[in-house]
Amino acid sequence: MGARIALHMALNQDHRIRGAVTISGSPGLRDEASRRRRIAIDKSRAQFLMCCGLECFLQTWYSGKLWTSLREHPEFNSLVRTRSKHKNIKALAKVLADSSVGRQKSLWEDLKHLKRPLLVVAGEKDAKFKDISQKMRTEIMSHAECGSDGPKGKELCEVLIIPDSGHAVHVENPLPLVRAVRKFLLKLY
């Protein structure tokens, strides 16, 4: 969800920020049918969490294709143990249902109005979000404005693919991510 918040800031609060970084993020679902389907899926997931409990939910959640490389990471079991200690399952289920990607506005159309530099990061093993990252860049760059007060061309949107990582880039290969974010931030100031 942090990537979506950063993207919202970059698109809607450009007067307050100098740039933004998204990691394994997306501008959302483009069409209404996909959004309705996702709302139903997330509502079902929330009900499953309430009925079966957090441990069962986490086991099912992390068995998904998106988490294949994370499951191979040496810290995976520790991460799951930490998350399984959450006490308020009702609140987790509510967040899952209420903040569904299907309920969020698609930002694809808004990308053409980007005015601040954006670093879009995805993991090398995360085919879905690598593809989304490239599509975001294409959308942004096809509408890039070269004004005297804003970034030009390549500087507006950079896609960075972090090697040896999947969707959880920050866990799977944090050092290249930290270096890239640092380099990006130094360019902003």
CB-based contact 58:48 (threshold 8 Å): no
How many CB atoms are closer than 10 A to CB 110?
17
Q: What is the mean pLDDT of the chain?
A: 93
Q: Which two tokens stand for residue 175?
A: 């050092």
* Position 169 pLDDT exceeds 80: yes
Which DSSP state fits 116?
A: S
Average pLDDT of span 55-60? 97
Q: Does CATH number 3.30.70.270 belong to domain 2-28+105-188? A: no
Show me where the domains of the chain are located: 2-28+105-188, 33-103
Report whether pLDDT(74) > 50.
Answer: yes
Q: What is the pTM of this model?
A: 0.90
